[in-house]
Amino acid sequence: MRRLANRLAMITGAAVGVGKACAGAHAREGARAAIAGFDRARAAGAAVGIGDGALAVRAAAAFERTGGTTVLLTRPAMATAQTG
């Protein structure tokens, strides 16, 4: 039995790197991994790469669609401003 079956794990900053790895690990354990990120296209790409159990969402949409979250993993991302 997978430890997170029928659970929702919301993971912020999960479009790349450590966050994406965490989302994949949660999905392999049976959770629906809701990938919330600044860049919706990158989040969607991460969800496709992870496969079944992963979806890209706005945080509020995940709560509306599922009625709540079992796991909330916030992985801070670093953004840089470009000038010029």
Domain locations in the chain as residue ranges: 8-68
CA distances (Å), 68 to each of 25, 62, 83, in order?
20, 8, 39
The Cα-based distances of 82 to 11, 20, 51, 68 in angstroms read 26, 24, 33, 36
Check if the beta carbon of residue 53 is closer than 8 Å to that of residue 31: yes
Average pLDDT for consecutive 10-residue bins of the chain (84 residues)?
85 85 92 83 91 81 63 62 52
| Structure-token match 């997978």, residue found | 2
What pTM was computed for the model?
Answer: 0.73
Please tell me whether residue 36 adopts helix, strand or coil conformation.
strand
Q: What is the pLDDT of residue 28?
A: 92
Tell me, what's the pLDDT at 25?
92
Residue 47 pLDDT? 92
